[in-house]
Homo-oligomer: A and B are copies of this chain.
């Protein structure tokens, strides 16, 4: 008996699949970000980390990972690189010897000030091909979907938790 044939799969089915489109869009977004920011030697993740540290001075690595929905293991090397570039500094927490608190340096604040308008241009470029109404619709749907799927990811966003604990600790 011959083995059952594969169902008739076309690449077009792949090109219309959500997973493929999300991967492709992420690829394109990173590409545009790096192109706009090539003068700055900052990756999208490093940028997000800088913003979060600026917004929450004295945050620790674990809470930072929750605030930007970023894997804690990977974050270690991201922090190392930001520290090597002298954009952030780590200070041991006096009340908990396990924790190292993160702060922007002057260099970090300076590069943030310069790069923010550039990043905003990059963000705009990602949606530029769409009509303004469609941009709004897409962003609205994505915000919804990311929020409703938050628990599905391995590193759920925990913005509020992180803030609460920070307030409790400091």
Q: Which residue numbers of A lie inside 8 Å of B, CB to CB?
A: 3-4, 6-7, 9-11, 14-33, 35, 44-45, 48, 51-52, 54-55, 67-69, 106, 109-110, 112-113, 116, 119, 122-123, 125-127, 129-130, 134, 137-139, 141-146, 148-150, 152-155, 157, 159
Contact = CB atoms under 8 A, between A and B. Distances in A.
Nearest to A127: B18
A130 B144 contact: yes
Given A15-B143, A24-B146, 17 more contacts: A3-B106, A3-B110, A4-B113, A7-B116, A9-B51, A11-B51, A14-B52, A14-B68, A19-B29, A21-B143, A21-B146, A27-B69, A27-B153, A27-B155, A28-B149, A31-B152, A130-B148
Contacts of A32: 149, 152
A143 to B, nearest CB: 6
